[in-house]
Amino acid sequence: MRFILVGPPGAGKGTQAVHLATHFGIPHISTGDIFRLNLKNGTPLGLQAKGFMDKGELVPDSVTNEMVADRLTHPDVQAGFLLDGYPRTTAQAEFLKSALTAMNSPLDAVLEMTIDNSEIVKRLSGRRTCRGCGKIYPAAQPSCDSCGGELYQRDDDKEEVIQRRLEVYADQTAPIVGFYRNEGLLRTISALGSVDEVAGRAISALSK
């Protein structure tokens, strides 16, 4: 099974990615992990990315695309993969399509998780993060029950920042939904409900 997970921030993609990767026995590949691996290993692509990041600039598509394409040649993806956080634009989606066609490994599906913006704001603005271990809790939690650390609200969990993140998603990433709908690959599920309920919907949609 080779598929992409898309949806707005706060839809629960990270949580579902873990469940789905385990269920299908495939690696969960996130762009964040790919960047960290290349930077840690000092690969030529990692060094290119670091040059842009050190100057406070966005890493261009050309570098990001090649990092992803390289990751998809690793032996662990032979049985499939779950891509999370890529592609973010239709240009990246076009590149990925060409790269996978060249590898004779086309996508099986694109799973879109949908949820109202009001629910996203409620979810994200109502969570707190432990300064010690990074564990996430609801706002009512007094302190971290794992390490006793102080809980705080991250800047990107503040309502005005969340609204901006949703605008960026709508402008840049949401258009890929139309791209994959035209490709006949899109599967859409509601992200409302318990983790198990959403996972069940996802597995059912991907198994069609």
More confident residue, 176 or 173: 176
**Confidence class for position 144, pLDDT limits 50, 70, 90:** very high
Q: What angle do CA 103, 107, 113 make, to 5 degrees?
A: 150
Q: pLDDT at position 6, please?
A: 94
Active-site position among 88, 123, 128, 187: 88
DSSP-assigned letters across all residues of 18-84: HHHHHHHT--EEEHHHHHHHHHHHT-HHHHHHHHHHHTTPPPPHHHHHHHHHHHTTSGGGTT-EEEE
Q: pLDDT at position 26, please?
A: 96
Q: pLDDT at position 165, please?
A: 87
State yes or no: is 131 an active-site residue: no
* Cβ-count burial 71-96 (b if 16+ within 10 Å, e if not): bbeeeebeebbbbbbbbbbbebbebb
For 138, the token pair is 């609801």
**Confidence class for position 188, pLDDT limits 50, 70, 90:** very high
State yes or no: is 154 an active-site residue: yes
Q: What is the percent of the chain where pLDDT is above 70?
A: 100
Q: Is the peptide bond before 75 cis (omega within 30 degrees of 0)?
A: no
Q: What is the mean pLDDT of residues 127-147?
A: 92
For residue 111, give every residue at least 6 positions away whose Cβ sits within 8 Å of its Cβ, in sequence order, or none.
3, 4, 5, 6, 20, 187, 188, 189, 202, 205, 206
State yes or no: is 201 an active-site residue: no
CA–CA distances in Å: residue 181 to residues 48, 86, 174, 177: 34, 16, 11, 6
Say if residues 87 and 31 touch (Cβ distance below 8 Å): no
Q: Give, as one character, the DSSP assignment of residue 203.
A: H
For 9, the token pair is 């921030």
Active-site position among 97, 122, 127, 135: 127
Q: Which range, of 57-66, 117-126, 151-160, averages the lowest pLDDT? A: 57-66
> How far is 36 from 17, CA to CA, in rounded Å?
18
Q: pLDDT at position 21, please?
A: 95
Active-site position among 36, 154, 158, 164: 154
139 C-beta neighbours (distance < 10 Å), count: 11
Active-site position among 13, 71, 187, 201: 13
174 has pLDDT over 90: no
51 has pLDDT over 90: no
State yes or no: is 187 an active-site residue: no
**Confidence class for position 101, pLDDT limits 50, 70, 90:** very high
Q: What is the mean pLDDT of residues 188-208?
A: 94
State yes or no: is 181 an active-site residue: no
> How far is 133 from 204, CA to CA, in rounded Å?
34
